[in-house]
Chain A
Amino acid sequence: MDVQTLTFIFVGTTFALYIGIAIWTRAGNTDDFYVAAGGVPPLANGMATAADWMSAASFISMAGIISFIGRDGAVYLMGWTGGYVLLALLLAPYLRKFGKYTVPDFIGDRYYSNIARGVAIVCVLFVSFTYVAGQMRGVGIVFSRFLEVEITTGVFIGMSIVFFYAVLGGMKGITYTQVAQYCVLIFAFLVPAIFISMLMTGNPVPQLGFGSTLADGSNTYLLDKLDQLSAELGFAAYTAGKKSTVDVFFITAALMVGTAGLPHVIVRFFTVPRVRDARISAGYALAFIALLYTTAPAVASFARVNLINTVHNAEYKTTPSWFKNWEDTNLIAWVDKNGDGKIQYSAGKAFNGKPQFLEERGLAGERKFSNPPTDNRNELYIDRDIMVLANPEIAGLPNWVIALVVAGGLAAALSTAAGLLLVISTSISHDLLKKMLLKNISDKQELVFARMSAALAVIVAGYFGIHPPGFVAQVVAFAFGLAASSFFPAIFMGIFSKRMNKAGAITGMISGLSFTAGYIIYFKFIDPSANSAQNWWFGISPEGIGTLGMLFNFVVASLVSKVTAPPPNEIQDMVDDIRIPKGAGRSYHHAKL
């Protein structure tokens, strides 16, 4: 069977599965809708958290990025896993004991202030919308390349699926579809990785193949070969760092702390029955995530070697079909600078910016574009996002593996989108309406509002997917920076400092936030030409500035809280209470009544 038929079968089957689960687990009340009635078993919550967390970026983009930047890719690998240690040890068990529905709930109650709640709602909405736009875009790319439909149609299909199970099922529906989506995505990521590891090194475990010798009889280690190939083509060594140590340190810290502060991840720990379950499900979640995250760098290095071996000095006319397919999707471009009909791949950009393709074809049949070529030897442009999707084709794996990867990429994007949409709808119906504007609505009315806001959020997200704002890539730094500089310190101090009060927390959040946002806006939007190491403060890039924002938040909050009145006694009692696990069920009751 051809790839397209297989892809339709795989994608269709998995979509049918998600819809089936949604019907089976639909939500009956707000408790179901917001936190799956707090009854999710820890193992299931671990899988759901893993699927929630691993987005189109983790599945599709991350290995590709690592493939091109080498060792520095560790900022993502460590940043997006190390945050779970912070989450598990510092936040999750206590937030579960607190036992309500949302992050703004905690901030608003702990700091006895609707201003604090309001600041939190604004941050939640901003962070989540930023993130969800990227997911819908991922769905669009996958559909357009593999199912040959317009990106718009692809986004519509993705939207209707998410609409169906998020609006109908709420947290309960999302949780169990995420469990299924985790299974699909991890299987889809591991199968090609195992195949390729076998082909290249003879070792079926990618994590081991990564450090083995090549199976070509040369007895050279894979990574040594990669360093050698990189040197030949003029690239820096794959296993050497290129970013400054300071910057790597701050970016990793910002991603870790940001991960621990992201509302759609935190809220998953409200769904388990007990404090103990919150702790262990963080462990399961990270174990499930680590399975993909330790495979990704192996995939990155395999893909890199394969890519160089396949395309460098290859005749354009005889390149395999994947090369031309991706060229048709605008993600690969080739310009024959020396007119030999062969592809020369080396360090440097073949031309500036993204290719602006023209209708005409060149001598060898390649697509022409209007960007003037640069004067270095490199003739090839490859979008990093295609590495994972193209990898099975580059390695010549069977068609069903390619179809499986497509279904996996969609599972990763949809599961994350659904989790984010739920957080957005909860912030509107629960935090904004029920807690601040319309305090007298009944549970049934609140559920209607929750469904309406989920529906609205799906539509807005879909719009961003079809008309992606040019700044999506830039604002990802925003999402983590804001979470790191606002939520993490506010929640952390709310648990670990009884003395932290309303004034301290609010001024801390606002100063951390405005500092981080200001720095990012300056370098990304106001003066992008100044965005280079010599202009950065202490050599910290906008991606890593959230760490400094977080420190700033801590300092301001501590100083202000020292000179203002301590929190009222009942708040201090509440802090005492969330510090011990006993009575988690009971506090949940109190919170609800």
Chain B
Amino acid sequence: MDGLSSILKIVLQRLGLGLVTLFVVSIVIFVAVNLLPGDFAEAILGQGATPESVAKIREDLGLDQPMITRYFSWLKGMLTLDLGTSFAQLNFANFGGAGTTTIAEQIAPRLSNTMFLAAVTACIAVPLAVTLGILAALYRNTAFDKAANMFTLSSISSPEFFMAYVLILFLAVLNPIFPSLSNIFEGMAFSERLEKSMLPALTLTLVVTAHMMRMTRAAIINLLASPYIEMARLKGLSPMRVIVKHALPNALAPIINVIALNLAYLITGVVVVEVVFVYPGIGQLFVDSVKIRDIPVVQACCLIFAAAYILLNLTADILSILSNPRLRHPK
């Protein structure tokens, strides 16, 4: 059918654009790191490095190759999940350590931990925020709406670590309900894991819910002002039916957009929160690697974060195209 093919075309276009963006982003990340001054290998090992170890690292990293060659071999590594070995591990090996792990092995469990945290947060935050946002829009300018507005504004304005410590103070120190440290390890029971992730998840929920709720409210208010909603009311339909049948189908696209945007926002928030709660996720690894300048790990993490971010935005884009009746049923 004609409609299907045109919508398919738009979706494919967006997918292609997303891929191109990701490709360019990978170039930016790679080039940025190559802006480092002096010799890469010396920078890694510090001043006390022996010439032999510098030479070894240089060979390991293929630093004698031209930049383009190095980029494509790095990109190939990323695509085949062969992320190389971290500098910390290389050093470890150079000083006679045994049993080094690759970056992929380092990242994989942490990535799944972070995904778990994000999933728990999303499960709490999305229904909560959308419900509250719709309520605030329906009862706008009431005391409830004003209180919600003040609360969400404050919550958006506060740094994540402020929320984190307030929660620790009340839910861990004064009333020991949840543990303040999230020492999660493999093979842990789901319930225990959930309990230990609760405080970081709640912190993220507070921040994300506020954003999501404000945006949902704005989207719904915008929608409720449209003439077809007035028309539905003037047809004598019940308030419930006006919302469910007339507002929601059209609100889907903006709400999906809001959700995706905020899940993308989680990516940034997760870094700080993981550090506060010592949660063994990818954000924690990223910050640690930044501190010790472990370039390969920083690059890999950065690319993963960027990819997740682009993917979420792309999903939002495509879903809102699919939910638009004008595009789904072209003339």
Instruction: Decide whether A and B are members of one complex.
Output: no
Q: Residues on B close to A: CB < 8 A?
A: none
Q: Residues on A close to B: CB < 8 A?
A: none
